[in-house]
Amino acid sequence: MTTTTLHEEHPKHNLTGFIIFLCSESVIFLAFFSGYALLKTSALNWLPNGVEGLEWRMPLVNTIVLVSSSGTIALAEHFKGRGKMLLFRGFWLLSMAMGAYFLYGQAVEWSGLKFGFTSGTFGGTFYLLTGFHGLHVATGILLMGLMLIKSFIPGNYSGGEQGVQATSLFWHFVDVIWIILFLLIYVWQ
């Protein structure tokens, strides 16, 4: 319902639909987060034996990269508004690259971990949360790639491109989720 006022101006409804979808999607993460909190608080030996806490420095670097990519994508949108397509594509590509770096960092971290998916609720929730979020990052990168390709179709943006807005919205969403996730998993130990 909040979306109505947001989008009176647009002729089509895709963005409205997409925002409604994002609101709904956030509830899945809410479910996982509350599950994580509940299991963690009620567990007596939370960490699987042999594991003492998580290394947080590299994930922090990852976090900074991902969060700043929210800025770059905003810039890209801004330049699109100005009609500066080259700058738009540049920053857009940069955001994609940063997202890719984040995924790479995630993969490196995973491969270095001493516990697995099935080692207790800690392992389960850790891989579930990070994995499910990682899926969203990958989806975001794919969407960006799609938009980048579309941006070469002449006159594609003349009517205002909702796809770009939707994609960057999605990207911001993925970032916000990650921040909560980072606080839950790495900061709260």
The residue among 14 and 58 lying less far from other proteins, judged by its C-beta, is 14
Residue 44 touches other proteins, criterion: CB under 8 A:
yes
The single residue among 17, 90, 145, 160 that binds other proteins, judged by CB under 8 A, is 17
The residue among 43 and 60 lying less far from other proteins, judged by its C-beta, is 43
Q: Under a CB-based contact definition with an 8 Å cutoff, are residues 104 and 59 in contact?
A: no
Question: By rule CB under 8 A, what count of residues binds other proteins?
Answer: 37
**Terminal C-alpha separation, the chain:** 38
| C-alpha span between 71 and 77 (Å, rounded) | 10
Partner from other proteins, ligand CUA, none contacting 68, C-beta within 5 to 8 A by type: none
Residue 163 touches other proteins, criterion: CB under 8 A:
no
Residue 13 touches other proteins, criterion: CB under 8 A:
yes
Binding part of the chain for other proteins, among 54-62, 83-91, 121-129, 169-177 by CB under 8 A, reads 121-129
Q: Under a CB-based contact definition with an 8 Å cutoff, are residues 89 and 75 in contact?
A: no
Q: Under a CB-based contact definition with an 8 Å cutoff, are residues 69 and 175 in contact?
A: yes
- The torsion region of residue 150 among left (phi > 0), alpha (psi -120 to 50) and beta comes to alpha
Residue 87 touches other proteins, criterion: CB under 8 A:
no
Residues 94, 95, 97, CA angle at the centre, nearest 5°?
65
Least gap, CB of 149 to ligand CUA (angstroms): 23
Q: Under a CB-based contact definition with an 8 Å cutoff, are residues 76 and 91 in contact?
A: yes
- Picking from 33, 17, 24, 19, the residue whose alpha carbon sits closest to that of residue 132 is 33
The residue among 123 and 140 lying less far from other proteins, judged by its C-beta, is 123
Read off the amino acid at residue 37.
Answer: A
Partner from other proteins, ligand CUA, none contacting 118, C-beta within 5 to 8 A by type: other proteins
Q: Which residues bind ligand CUA (CB under 6 A)?
A: 7, 10, 12-13, 15-16
| C-alpha span between 163 and 93 (Å, rounded) | 16
* For the chain, counts of helices (H) and of strands (E): 6, 0
The residue among 68 and 121 lying less far from other proteins, judged by its C-beta, is 121
Q: Which residues contact other proteins by CB under 8 A?
A: 1, 3-4, 7, 13-14, 16-17, 20-21, 23-28, 30-32, 34-35, 38-39, 42-46, 117-118, 120-125, 128
